[in-house]
Amino acid sequence: MKDSKALKKDFPIFATKSVKKDGKELIYLDSASTTQKPESVITAITDYYKTSNANIHRGIYTLSEKATIQYEDVRKKTATFINAGTPEEIIFTRNTTEAINLLAYTFGEKHIKQDDEIIVSELEHHSNLVPWQEVVKRKKAKLKVIPIKSDYTPDMDEYHKILSPKTKLVAITSMSNVFGTKTPLKEIIEAAHKKNALVLVDGAQSAAHQKTDVQALNCDFFTMSSHKMLGPTGVGILYGKKELLADLPPFMFGGDMIKSVSQYDSEYADPPVKFEAGTPNIGGIMGFGAALDYINKIGFKTIEENDKKLFEYAVKKLSEIEGINLLIPPADKAGPVISFTLKDIHPHDIAAVLDQDNICIRAGHHCAQPLMEKLGIPATARISFHIYNTPEDIDKTCDSLKKAIKIFE
């Protein structure tokens, strides 16, 4: 099996001259935000535009048929990737945020009533919080929040306490984008189902790092973003159990999502087409298909081993730096994400110093402002990695962090 040093060669950005800074190679440690793309993904997109560009589901001519087949192939591939029951359970959106909004507007509109409760956790990205805040406002329902414990994992005792017959939906991340915490999905889902509540798993962070099996999990909905999975921007996925999707009203109206239209009324298509109004991001979806192929080729075993190896190495190396404070869960629950603070240096200043060494890290509230408030800090610095990151990246980052200490002491 190729190691990460060899795999890095699959990602053309690292060999691009203009990306170097004063001769320094790009060190990219912001994959939780968006990943880099392998050559095969970039080629798949250009190939589509060069060899099969036509609108889908419309043309009678060969070119359109070819595009339609390729597009539907990616749907099948996606279904296999997360082990959905059928491809019809896969809806293409723009990103995770749109997928969650789709649910909030359809499921929320139809099934949330006054005094119902929706449960989220303190770990949620704004994407899996704000849409539900809006639903409960519109419906005079209630939002309940699973707090986190001092080890940055969700407080499951509290979860079981707030779960009640009033709970209609539990919307939970599979992996925190701030702490990398993997959440106990099986326990969460089983308990929710016992109370007849449905569960939406926000899989944006985990989808490209661990195998997803929506049937084994038995989650009702699952979301992910292509751009965090080595694929292009502009493509997201909403998975939903077939019978649940069939029961939901459409989200957007217009072309492609209809069975038949008369002047004053229309009949809507079946899922997934019902939820895919208008011309989708066909080129992007072709790229996403190539990203899935790439992940399948490397295999989750290799990805997880590299994540684990790098996590352990990074924790060891970073811990040697004086005045650093790592915000990480216990190792068995940790993903490829490490948030930290360094002395009293503002995370923006840390990131700016690292940028001078061409090292990309994230600094900010990571779209988790309530969480930052709870921690009593405005922001953290965060490194996150994927298959192209190596121990040398961590070494260089540590050197650069020591530079930051020198500058600001």
Partner 1 sequence: MDIYTEIILDYYKNPRNEGPLPDATTCAKEDNPLCGDKIRINLKIEKDKKTGKEKISKATFCGKGCAISQASASMLTEKLIGKTPKEIEKITDEDIKKMLNIPISPAREKCAILCLHAAKKALTERGSAKKSAPCPGCKKETASGRPKRI
Q: Among residues 219, 360, 367, 398, which one is catalytic?
A: 367
Beta strand pairing status for 142-146 and 117-121? parallel
| 91 counts as binding ligand PLP under rule CB under 6 A | no
| 173 counts as binding ligand PLP under rule CB under 6 A | yes
283 bridge partner residues: none
Spatial contact of 344 and 407, defined as CB atoms under 8 Å apart: no
**Tokens describing residue 220:** 């009702």
Spatial contact of 176 and 123, defined as CB atoms under 8 Å apart: yes
From CA 219, how far away is CA 317, in angstroms rounded?
37
**Nearest distance, CB of residue 6 and ligand PLP, angstroms:** 28
Tell me if residue 136 falls in helix, strand or coil: helix
Q: What are phi and psi of 354, to 5 degrees?
A: -65, -35
| 95 counts as binding ligand PLP under rule CB under 6 A | yes
Spatial contact of 251 and 275, defined as CB atoms under 8 Å apart: yes
* CA-closest candidate to residue 132, choices 96, 170, 158: 170
Q: Build a one-symbol-per-residue string for 37-76: x at contacts with Zn ion by CB under 5 A, - elsewhere.
A: ----------------------------------------
Applying CB under 8 A, which residues contact partner 1? 147-150, 325, 327, 341-349, 352-353, 356, 363-365, 369, 372, 374-380, 407-408
C-beta of 55 vs 325, nearer to partner 1 = 325
**Nearest distance, CB of residue 311 and partner 1, angstroms:** 20
C-beta of 97 vs 358, nearer to ligand PLP = 97
Tell me if residue 236 falls in helix, strand or coil: strand
Active site residue 367: yes
**Nearest distance, CB of residue 116 and ligand PLP, angstroms:** 23
From CA 204, how far away is CA 128, in angstroms rounded?
10
C-beta of 145 vs 342, nearer to partner 1 = 342
Instruction: From the list Zn ion, ligand PLP, partner 1, none, pick the one residue 125 interacts with, judged by a Cβ distance below 5 to 8 Å according to partner type.
Output: ligand PLP
Tell me which residues touch ligand PLP (CB under 6 A): 95-97, 125, 127-128, 173, 177, 202, 204-205, 225, 367
Residues forming the active site: 367
